[in-house]
A and B are shown apart, each in its own frame.
Chain A
Amino acid sequence: MTVTEPQLAEHFGATIARGDRIEPRDWMPEAYRRTLIRQIAQHAHSEIIGMQPEGDWISRAPSLRRKAILLAKVQDEAGHGLYLYSACETLGTSRRELTDKLLSGKQKYSSIFNYPTPSYADVGTIGWLVDGAAICNQVPLCRTSFGPYGRAMIRICKEESFHQRQGYELLMTMMRGTDEQRAMVQESVDRFWWPALMMFGPPDGASPNTEQSMAWGIKRNTNDELRQKFVDMTVPQARALGVTLPDPQLRWNSERQAHDFGEPDWDEFWAVVNGAGPCNAERLAHRRKAHDDGAWVREAAVAFARLEEAL
């Protein structure tokens, strides 16, 4: 019996409507597959590129305990990249192909990693705000319609919440230190606040992919909903920490039971997405160099594996 494409599509639609998972061997529309590959790859690339801004501080961490925490965190990001590339491979691509697309600029990664990290406080701020924003984005993805992606996200979210807590704890500790350290924390928060809000993507009116992704159950909330949730979660944390957030329009709106806040600079957002951020070139150059420098090692591993198979 031949099953027609409309029947397969109907079955796919019914699976999504029931809230069940699509698994790698199930039939899926090509556009769904392409969207997922793009999204998961972009997420994996973000983990790998995201090792750099904080990784830059491992050699200079100011205590041995902080060095261990930071090294373990950056290592976790490599691990997240690994699970996500594996989840993506179930859709019929390969890590090698995805890496080539990252290195050639055909696939993107989160723009937040194109901002510099000139201060040790940035390690804490990235944990608190950047990982915090990532968690808001990613927790709903644990229920995403594609099985391997959802399952990878469950593990990733657990580890990300450790990272957020560690980042916040570093900032809390620094705030109990010297005046100079408190100034470092405030300066870092001032720099990262707006880029963190931009991590949720453009406003809903300017996000052409959102509607289709929500219909497919890939995405569960709109960009603006998640941004609001993040602001509402973060304001009391900032107060407990003793820092201000650099937005004069930020205030509690009792009617909406939510915070009103200012508009991020979307021109800056698009400029960074399109390659003009402060560190875009540097991040890709670092990745390309590591990849090129390691080519002979990967070749040796392949040659040795063949030799062992032949024995």
Chain B
Amino acid sequence: MISDDLLGSEAHWAFGTDFEDPLAGVDTTVPDDIDPAALARYCLMLGDDALVLSQRLSEWCSRAPDLEEDIALANIALDLLGEARLLLARAAVADPSVVPSLPDGSPVPAEDALAFFRSPAEFRNVTMTELPNGDFAETITRLLLFSVWRLAEFESLLTHPDAVLAAVAAKGRKELAYHRDFAARWFVTLARGTAESRRRVLTALAGLWAFWPELDAPADVEVVLDQVFAAADVSRPEVTPARGLGRECVHTEALTDLLAEMQSVARAHPRGLW
């Protein structure tokens, strides 16, 4: 006899890992005045950013400078993964034509078809998210730039006419505020810690700043960044912007490698049940 305890039906198996359809209970009808294809494309942009950066952050698991940071980076990766799942699912509902077709009888749900069966040339994430992690200073600096921008983006979506997108934004903004605070605290710590940590964080910022214009952030976002830079006693680097075309599905080889690894098991079992 298997005990009920082992096979029980409680949905709550672990934090952030609900087995439910993430959009269950939400009216998923696309409002009449919204272009479904445009909505799907926008959800893929935000969803792919979260998915790709989550994948990068999870590479830190068991490799962080201390246990507390290992746990925090995994938390942030889990939050972004949760956002990605909601956004990819929304994209699939809004415009089913974005979902890759799979062999007949494949049980793969839409969110996984989008994550595991698209090619790099179908991803819409910004370039910054796909770059390799580098050292802890690069990871923190990227997380700071990304989460400051994304938090502002999510706040602007709170009143979006698509109820699903507005709900995703309401959930995500609390997570993103924590990500930003975590990254800002470490950015300042590293910038003012030792000569070595300052050197590393300045190098990281100089490298990543070229990818900032691709985010196309409004001016008030830059005000927040400038406050963090002031606390860290650093200034905006003078660098030539990189030609970031992630939104148009143009990517670096880093994304090809990341996806080859991420998709390997799913693609080996296109009819697999997980």
* Chain A interface residues toward B at CB < 8 A: 48, 51-52, 55, 58-69, 71-76, 78-79, 81-82, 85, 120, 161-162, 164-166, 168-170, 173-174, 176-178, 180-181, 236-237, 240, 286, 289-290, 293-304, 307
**Contact across chains for A181 and B273 when beta carbons are under 8 A apart:** yes
For A68, list chain B residues within 8 Å (CB): 16-17, 78, 81-82, 85
Q: Shortest distance in angstroms between A51's beta carbon and chain B's nearest beta carbon? A: 4
Interface residues on B, range: 35 or more
* Chain B interface residues toward A at CB < 8 A: 1-2, 5-8, 13-17, 19, 51, 55, 58-59, 61-71, 74-75, 77-78, 81-82, 84-85, 88, 107-109, 111-112, 115-116, 135-136, 188-190, 192-194, 196-197, 200, 261-262, 264-266, 269, 271-274
**Contact across chains for A294 and B71 when beta carbons are under 8 A apart:** no
For B85, list chain A residues within 8 Å (CB): 64-65, 68
For A58, list chain B residues within 8 Å (CB): 58, 61
Q: Shortest distance in angstroms between A277's beta carbon and chain B's nearest beta carbon? A: 18
A71-B77, A168-B6, A304-B192 are contacts. A174–B66 as well, Cβ < 8 Å? no
**Contact across chains for B112 and A297 when beta carbons are under 8 A apart:** no
Q: Shortest distance in angstroms between A230's beta carbon and chain B's nearest beta carbon? A: 14
Give the A-B contact count at a CB cut-off of 8 A. Answer: 182
For B75, list chain A residues within 8 Å (CB): 75
Q: Closest chain B residue to A51 by CB distance?
A: B62
**Contact across chains for A307 and B273 when beta carbons are under 8 A apart:** no
Taken together as a complex, chains A and B put the C-alpha atoms of A286 and B62 apart, in Å, by 9
Q: Shortest distance in angstroms between B262's beta carbon and chain A's nearest beta carbon? A: 6
Kindly identify which residue among A65, A78, A165 contacts B70, using a CB–CB cutoff of 8 Å.
Answer: A78
**Contact across chains for B269 and A181 when beta carbons are under 8 A apart:** yes
A59-B58, A71-B74, A75-B61 are contacts. A299–B17 as well, Cβ < 8 Å? no
Q: Closest chain A residue to B140 by CB distance?
A: A297
For B74, list chain A residues within 8 Å (CB): 71-72, 74-75, 78
Taken together as a complex, chains A and B put the C-alpha atoms of A164 and B14 apart, in Å, by 12
Q: Shortest distance in angstroms between B78's beta carbon and chain A's nearest beta carbon? A: 6
